[in-house]
Amino acid sequence: MSATSQPLHAVAGVDFTSRPTRRKPITVALGRLDAHVVRLERVQAHADFDGFAAWLRTPGPWIAAIDMPFGLPRELVTVLGWPTDWLPLMRHYASLSREQIRTQFAAFCDARPDGGKFAHRACDAPAGSSPSMKWVNPPVAYMLHAGVPLLIDAGVHLPAVHEGDRERVALEAYPGLLAREVLGRRSYKSDEKARQTADRLIARKDLIEALEQGRTRLGLRLRLSHAQRDDLVADASADRLDAVLCMMQAAWAAGQPQHGVPLDVDPLEGWITSALSMKRAT
């Protein structure tokens, strides 16, 4: 117990990739929430899906925020004639190849007017996120295709979307939501060596400083060691920093009713954690 007699919460943030490798792994930031302070304990890298799937089975209680979509736009699902209940929909989606997904999504977009090619979920606008049907730049549709079956098989609980082990809670996150609150349109990362500039390094420093000082609407302060801070600053791709941003969103959700998921959320689409809070606070 902390000095305020509140329990310590195990929290995690996950920077997910649909094609994990040693050079670009699934990155998991693990921490503890004590009152309004989130302490980063360690960062794990999973170079394949098996390692990440094994981590998902870690006994709870814990709450994790994962940077990948958990649902598809209802409009898209209806037009394609796919199942309109979440679990049958995800089973159907997982049965498709990436090429089949791309072909069907491209045909959907081609039939729509310029400026409205993609269908959106209700959470996209308040979160400022890409539509979950997008298959390039970033390929979040493939992230959903690869990641959600792992969550289902692990039996984790997805609030408002899919019932599971309530000691292991997974939420959809978007690190850009929290980063943009601090940095505006300033870029803080790139996977391309030529674009890993001094300006982006300074932006990472500014973002980390704001998190440590609690200068976000989440009302939480990040606690790092000197070595951890240096490591986050030095990571020009910011995979580890994105995982930490998701961890902060998980910590926020740990203190919210219903884990911060709106009561009227569409269970087919899901919700990006802390998006509603950000919208109301503006």
pLDDT digits over 94-143, tens only?
Answer: 999 999 999 999 999 999 999 999 999 999 999 999 999 999 999 999 99
Q: What is the pLDDT of residue 223?
A: 98
Q: What is the pLDDT of residue 198?
A: 96
Tens place of pLDDT per residue across the chain (282 aa):
333 334 569 999 999 999 999 999 999 999 999 999 999 999 999 999 999 999 999 999 999 999 999 999 999 999 999 999 999 999 999 999 999 999 999 999 999 999 999 999 999 999 999 999 999 999 999 999 999 999 999 999 999 999 999 999 999 999 999 999 999 999 999 989 899 999 999 999 999 999 999 999 999 999 999 999 999 999 999 999 999 999 999 999 999 999 999 999 999 999 999 996 444 333
Chain center to CA of 30: 14
Rounded to two decimals, the pTM is: 0.94
